A and B are shown apart, each in its own frame.
Chain A
């Protein structure tokens, strides 16, 4: 067997390993049996049960709200970090700025969660804010994490663009604000969109940080699913995984298309 074939076999094995559990999980969502992963004939009943589970639906709605807000804030913050690191030039504290902007990428979730929770608790006892922990504190935590990822994307995008583009706009009489709005921002847009999607998914997927910084008022979808999984698997989770798989596929396709568009535009530059 040639080496080309051998690596192809490994690639197929690896992809099969990644896909098999996911496909089985989603496939058995259509089984009528109440024991997960037992085939009891085709049925859509678990999707109905899923939709009727008020706690799960409520948690999903909270998660979507938090993820939407966190991703939007993360793009504003990450855009700022990325621009400062790529374009602002040297300033005092730039090294610390860069280290702090990148820190959430490398800190374990338990450490980020614990640190932010302790911070919120001290803020509350000192300033009386945040009065209670829940959606707001999760949103702020997720925005901080998502911003680090968005910053990497924005910084990489700006680094491959010639600064002369903005300088040309300035030479032609544009104010800095106009040059930013008409030249830099449109060029940054694909990386901002990709950063938004990434921050949105990270927020929807996080259970550890959310568990730390949340209070009794805020149970996100992953927190709810986690407490269900602790007791074992139920067919509702199969159905939920099926729904997530569909949405995830759409989101990833969108992200890949964005990236392809970004590459094409870069080549055109």
Chain B
């Protein structure tokens, strides 16, 4: 079994993880062609760098890669700003309350990703809940265009990823030794000084993990920009999907996937190092 299990597991990983990733690389240097499937492999159609040069020179694709990183960075920052006081609140809650509070944090997360996005559509669209309430209060006369906008996109991201950000922060904050904060207070530090000079520095590894845990999936996000974001949101996940499903340009989609991975490589490595250190 000591020989068999690494072999069997390794065979699956080689087949279903390594090989597919290699295939993406191969496709990115293949030529697009009419037919099913719509490409000629390099050993048939010759090696082609067309997809890469298109993606790297056409402003549309470059913008989608940059846009995805910006949106992901913004979403991760928003999540962190709200998650930090929430995680701190969790560590300060009475022990008997912590279980139910964690349950309350995680249950919306288990209600299904799409229904939650659907809820935001119902809240934000023209005849939606928010506009109806505002109109009934007499605050607005015509519905505000809330859905299919940048704020809607970020609200959806915050809602989808917030629990991911709270959990690592809570884990790292609940491991801190309260003696450190008490000592700082005994030595005359004000509560805010204790917070900025003791609590916050101790939470940095957890905060970094929380940021990356949101940033990495958000950078490739497709569903949220598609259902909540402004029309034609420049995010690589959406553009890749379009190239693949609508334009049937598989090499371009593969080249976008390779570039997205290249951009995410540094954050992924950092995340894994944080994981092994803890």
How many of chain B's residues touch chain A, expressed as a range? 35 or more
* A102-B272 in contact (CB<8A): yes
A232 in contact with B121 given A106-B272, A114-B24 (CB within 8 Å):
yes
State the B residues within 8 Å of A (CB): 1-2, 5-6, 8-10, 12-14, 16-21, 23-24, 27, 37, 82-83, 85-86, 88-90, 92-93, 99, 101-123, 125, 127-129, 132, 158-159, 162-163, 166, 191, 195, 216-217, 219-223, 226-227, 236-237, 240-241, 244-245, 250, 253-254, 257, 260-261, 264, 268, 271-272
* B111-A114 in contact (CB<8A): no
* B118-A25 in contact (CB<8A): yes
- Can you report 21 residue pairs joining A to B where beta carbons are below 8 Å apart? A14-B166, A17-B158, A22-B115, A24-B123, A84-B9, A97-B10, A100-B17, A101-B13, A110-B236, A110-B257, A114-B244, A225-B118, A226-B223, A233-B121, A233-B122, A233-B125, A241-B119, A244-B115, A249-B110, A252-B110, A256-B99
Contact of A108 among B86, B111, B219 (CB under 8 A): B219
Task: Name the A residues within 8 Å of B92 (CB-CB).
Answer: 4, 7-8
Name the interface residues of A98-128: CB closer than 8 Å to any CB of B. 100-104, 106-112, 114-116, 118-119, 121-122, 125
Alpha-carbon separation in the docked complex, A2 to B236 (Å): 44
* A100-B110 in contact (CB<8A): no
Alpha-carbon separation in the docked complex, A240 to B62 (Å): 39
Task: Name the A residues within 8 Å of B132 (CB-CB).
Answer: 37-38
* B123-A37 in contact (CB<8A): yes
Of residues B86, B109, B112, B260, which shows the largest number of chain A Cβ atoms within 10 Å of its Cβ? B112
Across the two chains, which residue of chain A brings its CB closest to B2?
A88
Task: Name the A residues within 8 Å of B104 (CB-CB).
Answer: 15, 18-19
